Amino acid sequence: MNHLEFKGTGVAVKPITVFLHGFPGVRSKQNREIAEQTAQTTGRHCYVPLYTGLGFSEGTFSFENCRKEVEDFVGELMKSHGQLDLVGHSWGGYQALGLAAKHGHKIRRLVLMSPLLDFFNVDIADESFKSTAQNNPQLHLGEISKLAEEFVNVGAETPAVSLAERVHPLTKVVLLQAKDDGVTPPKHAEALLSHFRELPIYRTLETDHSFVLNREFATQEIIRALEMGVSDDPE
């Protein structure tokens, strides 16, 4: 799939890190500058998959197809590099949870940025996606009513709680929650914590759901979460 790569420099060997952005990733600009700064600061090799139909990628967006593409992309990286670190934001956070649930200890560290936990109902999703499409004509969202139904079905088939319960206890989880968040309120994120087999590190940040407010501070917190005790991590 289309993706960006940011290669860090230096002699230290750091984990390959994949940044999974949210939907539609417009305000956050797919967090590409956070990935780039992470590579420059830490020496990591960072990847940002660009979902079909969003941003500058051709084709029509689908939540199901997006999950499949990301799973294939991450799977190929694992074949080449072994263990990975994941940073997942909103919809990307939900996907990151799914990957951690599937791949066990191959996910060394899981950093969740206000992960999507509530998939609304069809009417709310339909209204929200129509507004997104109207305000962002560059996106390729296809038939909105079908997209809304697909969105709700994804959340119903594999709830975030069930994914959290399957995350391997050796995967170090850090949940960074935006305080000003109307999509994933802090109380929803806090309710998720007890479902992990090992209690995650949990921090609330003075930012919004897109992590645009206080962007530089949020970026440093993400880097800190990735680097925390990394020299002590098992190979």
> Would the pLDDT of 231 be above 70?
no
> Would the pLDDT of 88 be above 50?
yes
At 48, the pLDDT band (50, 70, 90 cuts) reads very high
CA–CA distance, 49 with 1 (Å, rounded to integer)? 7
The 10s digit of each residue's pLDDT in 3-22 is: 999 998 765 567 899 999 99
Rounded to an integer, the average pLDDT of 126-152 is 96
At 232, the pLDDT band (50, 70, 90 cuts) reads very low
Is residue 184 within 8 A of residue 120, CB to CB? The reply is no
At 172, the pLDDT band (50, 70, 90 cuts) reads very high
- Global pTM reads 0.95
pLDDT confidence of residue 191: 97
Rounded to an integer, the average pLDDT of 84-96 is 98
At 200, the pLDDT band (50, 70, 90 cuts) reads very high
The string of DSSP codes covering 17-67 is EEEE--SS-TTTGGGHHHHHHHHHHH--EEEEE--TTSTT--S---HHHHH
The pLDDT > 70 percentage for the chain reads 96
pLDDT confidence of residue 230: 59
Is residue 145 within 8 A of residue 130, CB to CB? The reply is no
> Would the pLDDT of 221 be above 80?
yes
CA–CA distance, 81 with 118 (Å, rounded to integer)? 33
| CA 101, 235, 75, 26 torsion-angle sign | positive
The highest-level CATH class for domain 3-232 is: alpha beta
Is residue 34 within 8 A of residue 222, CB to CB? The reply is yes
Rounded to an integer, the average pLDDT of 61-74 is 98
At 234, the pLDDT band (50, 70, 90 cuts) reads very low
Rounded to an integer, the average pLDDT of 33-57 is 94
> Would the pLDDT of 77 be above 70?
yes
Rounded to an integer, the average pLDDT of 201-220 is 98
> Would the pLDDT of 235 be above 70?
no
The 10s digit of each residue's pLDDT in 143-169 is: 999 999 999 999 999 999 999 999 999
